[in-house]
Structure formats: C-alpha cells, structure tokens
Structure 1
Amino acid sequence: MQIWEVIVLGLLQGFTEFLPVSSSGHLVVAQNFLGIHSPGVVLELVLHLGTLFSVVIVFWSDIVGLFRGFVSLLISPTGGRSMSRELVTYRYLVLLLLVGIIPTAIMGLLLEPVFENLFDSLLAVGIALLLTGVVLFSISRLRPGRRDLQRMTIWDALVIGVAQGCAIVPGLSRSGMTISSALGRGLDRDAATRFSFLISIPTIAGASLLKIGDIIQYGAGGQGLMLLIGFLVATVSGVIAVKLLVRLLRGGKLQFFAYYVWLVGVIVIWRAW
C-alpha cells in the first residue's frame, strides 16, 4: 500500500466516522472508485484508534467526569448526600452508556457475519446511503427537543444503542443513526451530540479489541511509518470532524448531510448498474 492511500484512508476514517455520512460506505466507495486497497487488519485498527483518540481529545472533560462517576459508582453504588450535582450527573451518564452499549454489542456480535458480505455489494451500500439521507432529512424537519442529559431515560439509551447497532450495515452512518434517534426521542441538540460521541468510545474500543487476536496472528509487517501516518491523519481529521459537526448541529444544518449522502448514494447505485 502506498503512502497516499494511507493518507486518503486516514482522512476518510477521521471525517466520515463522525460526520453522519457513513465511514464504511465511503470505504467501499474509495475501494471501488479510487482503486484503494483494503487497509488490512493492522492499519484498520490503527485508524480506528486514531478516531477514538480524537473523541477523547475533544471531550476530555467529559471523559474525566465519566471516570470519576464510574469510580464513584464502584465505591458507593447507592450514592450519598455529599455528592455534587455534576458527579451525580456523570454517575447517571455512566449507567446510560452501559445500557446503550448492550444492544449495540449484541447486534454487532450476532449480525456482523450476516452483513459482512454487503461490503462487496455497491448496490446495497448505495441503498443504505439513501436510507441514511432519509433519516437525516426527516429528523432535520422536527423541532429540537428540550431534554438534556440529566433528563435522559433508560429507554432513550436503549433506542440509541439499537440505532447504533443498525449502523453495522455499510452505508448506514453510526453518528447519523445515533444523533437522529436521540433527536427523535426529544433530546436537545447538545445532549444528542454529546451522547452520540461518548457512546462511540466504548463502541470503537470494543471493535478494536476484537481485532487484537488478528494483530497478534499477522503482526504489523514492518509498516511502522505508514501506521504512524495513518494514526495522525485519522486523529487530526477526526478532531476537525467532531468540532465541525457540533457547530453544524447547533445551527440546525443536519439536512445538508442528507443532500450529500443522497448524491453519493445515487452515484454508487449508478456505478453498481
């Protein structure tokens, strides 16, 4: 694999992992339209770790708060009167994330073998991209909800977790599905965005852990420089994508992503014919 391919894959992973346009769908597009080779197990893992690192950078204060909340739950599961409101919020958010990740994990383990073959079908990817656009456009027409993370419910977390699990289909955007489902449940834009990004952390980390066995089996194959380049490109582009999406969502511009994925979906379907 050439360095330019690693850079393109890093940019695709960083931007499309978080912008609601489907990273898996764009990977299929890159392979079929640009002739880029599959990243391979090791590079794929490194690119995912780069995007994981970008979320940690942008949401560092929330990460620290969640860690404190998690430790607090372990030490005192029932809580106490002396706890600050912020700590109580993060304790609750930890529980919501745990609830949300359960359906995602179950769907991922059960359905991945079923949908893995869809990566070879341009038509399926194109249809999924069109569906992503329909979801984004439909949600953009709704009035923003008023519930923040403190008023989020267990059912909200479950629905968002299921929506994230559906994104195992190449062409369905993970961030698009989670943000849309959160907004559809009546969360405000800030809460929907924050929860979508925060629930991506255990999702990406879990998917990466599943690949550790393959890494041990195949090794890095002397790709040190390319892996470093891929990691840095994915991290930097991921940070830019996260900040860009947060700004666009606050401005209520989700429909612009719908127009984009519709265009890409039509092109992909045309190519499939």
Structure 2
Amino acid sequence: MNWWEAALLGLVQGLTEFLPISSSGHLVLAKYVLGVEAAGADNVTFEVFVHFGTVLSILTVYGQEVRGLIGKTLLAAAAPHRLPEHYRTHEEVRMVAFILLTLLPTGIVYLFFGDFLEARFSDPRFVCGMLLVTGLLLLLTLLRRHPDGPVTPWKALLIGLAQSAAMTPGISRSGATICTALYLNVTPRKAADFSFLMLLPVVLGATLIKGIELFETGLAMGWIPLVVGTLVAYGSGVAAIKLLLDVIRRGNLAYFAIYCFFAGTLGLVLI
C-alpha cells in the first residue's frame, strides 16, 4: 500500500464511519477494487488506526461534551459514597455508566468470535451480503415514528449488543447502534450522540492493543501509509459527523438503505 492508496482508504473510512453505510465494508471493497494487498495482521492494523483517526474527529466535534463526561465522572469517583446521588443528578455520570455497559456485550463477542470476524475482512462477497443487512436495518426505522425517549441501562446493553454485531464488516456500526436506539424509542439526536460517544473506548482500546503489538513486532507495510490514512480519516470524519447530525435533524435514515441495497447487490453481481 502506498501513500495515495492509504489516503483514499482513509477518506473512505472517514466519510463512511459515521454515515450508516459501513466503513469497514467499504474499506474491504475499496481494497479489492484497488488491488491493495497486505498481510492479514496489517489489514486489521490499518483498520484500527484509521478508526483512531475518526475517534479524533469525535473528540473535535464533541470536545465540550467529552470534557464534561470526564470532569463529572472524576468528581463522582472522588466521593464513591455519593455515587448513587451523582448518578441521579448528573446526566454525564449516567452517560458514562451507559457507555461502560455497552462494553460488556462488545467485549464478550470479541473474546469468543474475534478471530472469525477478522477473517471476514478478506471476503468482499460476504461484505456485500452484510450491506444488504445494513440496508434492512435502516429501512426498518420507518416502523418507529417520532421516538422521544431517553437512554436507559437496558437500552444501553442492547445498543452495545448491536455494536458487537457491527464488528462484522458490512454491518454499519453507526447504523446498527443508531437504528437500535431508535427502535428502543430513543430521541434521534440522543441516539446519534450516544452512538458516537460509545465508540471512543472501543477504538481507543483497540488502538492501544495494536500499538503494543506493533512496538513488539514491527509493521511490514510501513508507517507513512498508516499516518496518511489516519490524518485523512480524521478530516473527513469531522465533515461526516456534521453531515449526519444535519441529516438526522432534517431527514430519514431509511434513505441510506437505498444506497446499501444498491452497493450490496452491485457487488454480489460483479465480484
């Protein structure tokens, strides 16, 4: 992989991470179209680092919210005997608790099925089939009109389960988590905010693990493509977040289903 291929893949990642059309699926298909070859471990490492670029874009758009989450949580942690009170009175503390709950199903699925899911990144036809599943998830949001509820502990667990399913390439993480939240009657803007914020610990943890592995084993593909892809993913990710928030305010997620059905069907026919 050279630097311009990495830049193109980073652009694909940044634009598709937050739009509900599966960034991992598009990366697999883009690599197939470009003929980019890398060792299996390097494929996954590149995925993790461009995902880290999109995490930086979340921190840029949601910087004030993230600082509030950290500040209120540290304040609550400094007085453990008052945790129930902080949980009841501070929305930021509840949000952190809900994000931690989403890690339970995500961690369990990765522990038992991580190797199987990573192997799917080399199968573009499988990805195309999963794009059709993503399209169905988006289309079903038409059944939930005007959701207006909050996130709760049980809803957070179910949204976390949706996130774990989205480790499968072709299943959109933002699509699966936002759609699940909408099915559970969570307000659209709250569903989007929670989907973006719950991504932070997952990708930061994965990046840390891969970074340690790289320090020990080295990287065959080189650092330049990795850095270029990450930076491009960051810039395009900021634009994609703002676009999706505008779409959620104005439109309907089901419109993205048309694209997923088209892309998935076209891929199955041509690949």
State the TM-score, normalizing by the size of structure 2.
0.90
Structure 2 letter corresponding to 1:199: M
Please point out which of 67, 70, 73 is paired with 2:70.
Answer: 67
Question: How far, CA to CA, are the matches of 2:15 and 2:142 in structure 1?
Answer: 21
Contact 2:76 2:83 in 1 (8 A): no
CA RMSD of aligned residues (A): 2.3
Please point out which of 116, 119, 127 is paired with 2:118.
Answer: 116
Aligned to 2:7: 7
Question: Where does structure 1 lack aligned partners over 5 or more consecutive residues?
Answer: none
Contact 2:44 2:118 in 1 (8 A): no
Name the SS for the 2:237 alignment partner. Answer: helix
Aligned to 2:52: 49
Contact 1:69 1:94 in 2 (8 A): no
Contact 2:134 2:170 in 1 (8 A): yes
Contact 2:19 2:174 in 1 (8 A): yes
Question: How far, CA to CA, are the matches of 2:43 and 2:135 in structure 1?
Answer: 29
Q: Does 1:202 align with 2:205?
A: no
Distance 1:36 1:75, change over 3 A: same
Question: How far, CA to CA, are the matches of 1:222 and 1:166 in structure 2?
Answer: 29
Contact 2:87 2:94 in 1 (8 A): no
1:70-81 correspondence to structure 2 within 5 Å: 70-79=73-82
Contact 1:140 1:252 in 2 (8 A): no
Q: How many residues align?
A: 268
CA shift, 1:225, in A, is 4.2
| Mean Cα deviation higher: 207-216 or 35-44 | 35-44
CA shift, 1:175, in A, is 0.5
CA shift, 1:32, in A, is 1.6
CA shift, 1:128, in A, is 0.7
CA shift, 1:268, in A, is 1.5
Question: Where does structure 2 lack aligned partners over 5 or more consecutive residues?
Answer: none
Contact 2:138 2:175 in 1 (8 A): yes
CA shift, 1:250, in A, is 1.3
Calculate percent identity across the aligned residue pairs.
Answer: 37
Aligned to 1:107: 109
| Mean Cα deviation higher: 44-53 or 195-204 | 44-53
Name the SS for the 1:145 alignment partner. Answer: coil
Contact 1:72 1:91 in 2 (8 A): no
Question: How far, CA to CA, are the matches of 2:268 and 2:20 in structure 1?
Answer: 19
Structure 2 letter corresponding to 1:208: T
Contact 1:126 1:266 in 2 (8 A): yes
Question: How far, CA to CA, are the matches of 2:68 and 2:194 in structure 1?
Answer: 14
Distance 1:75 1:42, change over 3 A: same
